[in-house]
Amino acid sequence: MKINTMAEMMAAGETPEVLFWVGCAGSFDQRAQKITKAFATILDKVGVKFAILGKEEACTGDPARRAGNEFLFQMMAYQNIQVLNGYGIKKIVTTCPHCFNTLKNEYPELGGTYDVVHHTTLLQQLIDEGKIKLKEGGEFKGKKISYHDSCYLGRANDIYEAPRKVLEALDAELVEIKRCKSNGLCCGAGGAQMFKEDEPGNKRINIERADEALETGAGFIASACPFCNTMITDGIKNREKENEVAVLDVAEMIAASMQ
């Protein structure tokens, strides 16, 4: 499968329907690369014409901004907006809620206005339109899945239903974690915490969240954020439950269940 970059598309005189913003985790993190590949596979299968920025993509600046380094954020934003506007990008889809939030909410006042959607929203749309066709009796049919709300998708942007609707399409049994939706507990990665040690305390946040997810007894924990995925996976491993409980991105579940 050939993934086109914007540069290649432009050279061929073509315009993609949507730009797939991969994000740093999706590009470099080995676990998150699988999510990226799953989502690219889905787009390819349903015939959505998409492109990536490839080497021209750079960190949105989210971790820098939230750590307090506004200069670095503004530099990254300037650079990215130059590239995006240069290609005349109209619509962006991303698998990372942090990139999603920054592109959607923070770039417009810096001169970068795009129609930005999170991949769970696009997946729901493709399912509703009948473009994604799922196998009868797929891998997740009748299985218990609990969905972990990403803060930057949920509270930050009020997206609670799209990922749940997508999971319902799998004919799975959705079991909510005690703290869910607007009360959802953070995985511990946001605000640039991903990139430093925890402050002194009595427990790691990701272990707390993994414990809450394990309480549901579900065999699958669905995530919609590469950072949440890493954090919850680590928490599950810490509890030595990695053989009983799998942490998967919503896109991976759909990719595995498509006809």
State how far the Cα of 243 lies from the Cα of 246, in Å rounded to an integer: 7
33, containing H or E segment: helix 30-46
- CB 41 → other proteins: shortest distance, Å? 8
Span of 135-143, 160-168, 189-197, 245-253 interacting with other proteins by CB under 8 A: 189-197
Other C-beta atoms lying within 10 Å of the C-beta of residue 228: 29
Minimum distance, C-beta of residue 211 to other proteins, in the bound complex (Å): 11
Segment 85 to 124, residues that bind other proteins, using CB under 8 A: 101, 104-106, 109-110
* Distance from chain centroid for Cα 191: 16
Residues 45-84 contacting other proteins, CB under 8 A = 52, 54-55, 57-59, 61, 63-72, 74-76, 78
Query: What is the total count of residues that contact other proteins (CB under 8 A)?
Result: 73
- Strand 144-147 and strand 115-118: the pairing is unpaired
Choosing from 201, 240, 243, 259, the residue that interacts with other proteins (CB under 8 A) is 201
Q: Which stretch in 9-17, 20-28, 140-148, 238-246 sits in contact with other proteins by CB under 8 A? A: 20-28
Residue 163 burial (CB count, 10 A): 28
238 binds other proteins (CB under 8 A): no
Contact at 8 Å (CB) between 16 and 93?
no
3-state DSSP percent of the chain in helix, strand and coil, to 5 = 50, 10, 40
Contact assessment for residue 140 and residue 218, using Cβ atoms and an 8 Å cutoff? no
Beta bridge partners of 221: 146, 247
Q: Applying CB under 8 A, does 162 fall inside the site for other proteins?
A: no
Stretch that binds other proteins, among 123-131, 165-173, 186-194, 243-251 (CB under 8 A): 186-194
Block residue for tokens 């349903």: 46
Closest separation in Å from C-beta 3 to other proteins:
4
Q: Rule CB under 8 A: is residue 178 a binding residue for other proteins?
A: no
11 interacts with other proteins by CB under 8 A: no
Calpha distance 22→50 (Å, rounded): 12
Stretch that binds other proteins, among 85-93, 123-131, 161-169, 184-192 (CB under 8 A): 184-192
Any contact of residue 256 with other proteins (CB under 8 A)? no
